[in-house]
Amino acid sequence: MQPATGRLRFFDTGRSARSVRRQRPMNITTKGQIAGAGIGLRPQHYADILDGTHQIPWFEALAENYFGAGGLPLHFLERVRERFPLTLHGVGMSLGSADPLNYSYLDKLKGLAGRIQPAWISDHLAWISSGGHYVHDLLPLPYTQEALEHIAGRIVEVQEYLGCQMLIENPSTYMSFSSSEMSESVFLAELATRTDCLLLLDVNNLYVSATNHGFDAEDYLGALPPDRVKEIHLAGYQEERGYLFDTHGQPVHPPVWDLYRKALRILGPVPTLIEWDTDIPSFGALVEEAGAAQAELDLVS
């Protein structure tokens, strides 16, 4: 069913303005053109977002949701992008994996980024694949020199390939390793120094991990290089027996708001995202959460 494209001459004469625009060069210039409290872009809310009666200044798209060749998802993404700055957030890069980097994934990401010109591209300090098989959940790394050198090399490679700096996010973890030689915050700080990457601080993930592993979240904040933190995520966790589980499916909990305030006092008014991935509520509920974050940002601006 693959057409011999070289012969489909008449298609070249009839392209719409939109499809012509998609042909533009793939230079990506992430400059972090975002400020204030944004919301994670979810298909349920396309209409509300494009209605334009809200004050939400920017949105974040889950990169892999727009890896299709065409169709409605990309159509809406481009319409949102026409009116608002967008960031691209991925879970598929598997930066911490011992497997080779997946260039077919990076190609798709680069193509998408070329098309929508995101303010930032981010992924996680985690791995999701081994032996070429993917688990689609963020698995933790031991914080060793070996892991640091490995993942630093890969971040450098990815940044070179994409042609821009990327943001690395701290994951929620439910396991730590006896072989770890440093704390997660020191690991991240070292990673930023070695690769010139930037950081995405998920305050909910930090709270979840600090609670699960019994470390001091404020010490963690103090160890991060403040000028490197370019984005913050806020989300909700779920309380399980003996640990906190990150569902990104609830309102931001009071202790996470407290930690967020402390983070802002150290870091300043870093652009902040309200992020829900499961049990996604009405757009209005998210606007309200974003409003609360915006009020905190205004206090330190």
Partner 1 sequence: MELRELQRLMQEAITGDRLDAASMDAAGPEIEPTTGMSGREHLAIYRNAVLGTMLRAMANIYPVCKQLVGEDFFDAMARLYVRRTPSQSPDLGDYGASFAEFIADFEPAAALDYLPDVARLEWSWHEAFHAKDEMGLDIDALGQVPERALQSIRFRIPVSARLLESDYPIHRIWQVNQPDWSGDQSVALDEGAVRLIIWRQGYDMRVDTLSEMEWHFLGEIAAGCTLGDIGDAKNAAGIETLLPRCVQRGWIAGFELTGQDGES
**How many whole angstroms separate alpha carbon 261 and alpha carbon 118?**
27
Q: Is 136 helix (H, G, I), strand (E, B) or coil?
A: strand
Q: Which is nearer to partner 1, 23 or 178 (CB)?
A: 178
Q: Which is nearer to partner 1, 33 or 176 (CB)?
A: 176
Residue 226 CB, nearest distance to partner 1 (Å)?
28
Residue 205 CB, nearest distance to partner 1 (Å)?
14
Residue 150 CB, nearest distance to partner 1 (Å)?
6
Q: Which is nearer to partner 1, 94 or 294 (CB)?
A: 94
Q: Which is nearer to partner 1, 45 or 228 (CB)?
A: 45
Give the footprint of partner 1 on this chain (CB under 8 A).
1, 3-4, 7-8, 10-11, 13-16, 19, 64-65, 67-75, 92-94, 97-98, 102, 105, 108, 127-137, 139, 141-142, 144, 146-147, 150, 174-180, 212-214, 242-243, 245, 278
Q: Which is nearer to partner 1, 149 or 288 (CB)?
A: 149
Residue 14 CB, nearest distance to partner 1 (Å)?
5
Residue 296 CB, nearest distance to partner 1 (Å)?
29
Q: What is the largest CA-CA distance in the chain?
A: 65
Q: Which is nearer to partner 1, 33 or 211 (CB)?
A: 211
**How many whole angstroms separate alpha carbon 88 and alpha carbon 275?**
13
Distances from the Cα of 209 to the Cα of 25, 187, 205, angstroms: 41, 15, 6
Residue 175 CB, nearest distance to partner 1 (Å)?
4
Phi, psi of 14 (to 5 degrees): -115, 20
Cα-Cα-Cα-Cα dihedral sign, residues 198, 203, 205, 209: positive
The tokens describing 146, both together, are: 């070996």
**How many whole angstroms separate alpha carbon 253 and alpha carbon 211?**
13
The length of the chain, given as a count of residues: 301
- E strand intervals along 178-267: 198-202, 229-234, 237-240, 243-246
**How many whole angstroms separate alpha carbon 176 and alpha carbon 198?**
24
